[in-house]
Amino acid sequence: MKTELLDGKKLAQDMQLQMKERVNKLKEKGKIPGLTVILVGENKASQTYVRNKERQAKKIGIHSTIIRLPDTTTEEEVINEVEKLNENPAIHGILVQLPLPKQMDEQKVLRSIRYEKDVDGFHPMNMGNFLLGNQATLPCTPYGIMTLLKANGVELEGKRALVIGRSNIVGKPMALMLMNANATVTIAHSRTENLKELAQNADILISAIGSGHFVTADFLKSAAVVVDVGMNRDEHGKLIGDVDTEGAMGIASKITPVPGGVGPMTITMLLEQTIKKVEDELR
């Protein structure tokens, strides 16, 4: 079987071209979308993500700023920064990069964001509305994956989907989105027994466990669609996914590469939701 790469980078570029037009239209009406990312601490992966988010945002004309705070920052200080942004009419999107340092209650910080400005979809109001099927800002990674699957004509209705990972950011919302698309969904995690057997029965396999090359060729059903959310470093410091992509070649029908698969889509949905907030304001 020929395995097709699900090219997130290309789709992201195409979508961002259209977004640039939307930003230009907003600018003609005197509105510049504003996005601020708060980054606390020195986490290397977070620094890279945040830099990429800023670069992509600027490319399409979004006014993007980063507030960098040291590891020693207190929860109150972060919440103070958030509250200033809540009150700033030039800022439409606020994103607190996760993970936060251990001394902080992540949920408390996320709750301090005005939910109308939450572009990550992590605020309980957005999470709750999403769960209930109401209008909501969505978590960007699963939203990006759904967009990538749809753009590539992947059928989900009636299919068996396995999500490996149960985080609030990816696993849980991913499972809900797949269920809403009428897939039959199983969620697996580190305590799951017979995980390989579940994988072997999955038409769609989404891996978000953060363990390099955990999913090997023998996990895959023939012609499965494989989505790799992993961003891991191997012993040489090379970026690798959760899936052994090379091993999956010839077995999977479609697979996302790492890098260039899910990552660019996450950023694109963040930009999409930032622009949408400004468009909604003008309605």
Active site residues: 53, 97, 120
Please tell me whether residue 100 binds ligand GUN under the rule CB under 6 A. Answer: no
From 82, 95, 206, 252, residue interacting with ligand GUN (rule: CB under 6 A): 95
Relative to beta strand 232-233, strand 239-240 is antiparallel
Determine the 3-state secondary structure of 213 from DSSP. Answer: coil
Supply 267's token pair. Answer: 């950023």
Which residues in the 259-278 window bind ligand GUN by CB under 6 A? Answer: 266
CA gap 38, 22 in Å, rounded: 25
Specify the residue, 61 or 139, whose C-beta has the smaller distance to ligand GUN. 139
Site membership for ligand GUN, residue 23 (CB under 6 A): no
Q: Cis peptide leading into 33, omega within 30 of 0?
A: no
**Residues β-bridged to residue 237:** none
Q: By CB under 6 A, name the one of 66, 67, 69, 98 that touches ligand GUN.
A: 98
**Residue 97, interface with ligand GUN (CB under 6 A)?**
yes
Q: Closer CB to ligand GUN, residue 33 or residue 173?
A: 173
How many residues touch ligand GUN (CB under 6 A)? 9
Binder of ligand GUN out of 57, 94, 145, 169 (CB under 6 A): 169
| Shortest spacing between CB 143 and ligand GUN, in angstroms | 10
Q: Which two tokens stand for residue 229?
A: 């959310």
In whole angstroms, give the CA distance from residue 205 to residue 80.
41
Q: Do 95 and 270 touch, CB atoms closer than 8 A?
A: yes
Q: Is residue 120 involved in binding ligand GUN (CB under 6 A)?
A: yes
Q: Smallest distance from the beta carbon of 239 to ligand GUN, in angstroms? A: 15
Contact indicator for 3, 252 with CB cutoff of 8 Å: yes
* Distance in Å, CB of 96 to ligand GUN, minimum: 6
Residue 36 DSSP class = E
Q: Tell me the closest approach of the beta carbon of residue 140 to ligand GUN, in angstroms.
A: 5
Looking at 89-97, 189-197, 204-212, 219-227, which segment touches ligand GUN (CB under 6 A)?
89-97
Interface with ligand GUN, residue 137, by CB under 6 A: no
Q: Sign of dihedral through CA atoms 269, 275, 276, 278?
A: positive
Q: Does 140 bind ligand GUN (CB under 6 A)?
A: yes
Tokens representing 152 are 């590539």
Alpha helices, DSSP H, located in 44-170: 44-59, 75-87, 106-112, 124-132, 140-151
Residue (48 or 222) nearer to ligand GUN, CB:
48
Work out how close the CB of 98 gets to ligand GUN at its nearest, in angstroms, rounded to a whole number: 4
Q: Do 68 and 77 contact (CB within 8 A), yes or no?
A: no
CB of 43 to ligand GUN, least distance (A): 9
Alpha-helical segments (H) within 152-181: 171-180
Separation CA 85–CA 281 (nearest Å):
17
Q: Which is nearer to ligand GUN, 221 or 230 (CB)?
A: 230
Query: In this chain, which residue has its C-beta nearest to ligand GUN?
Result: 98
Task: Give the binding site for ligand GUN (CB under 6 A).
Answer: 95-98, 120, 140-141, 169, 266
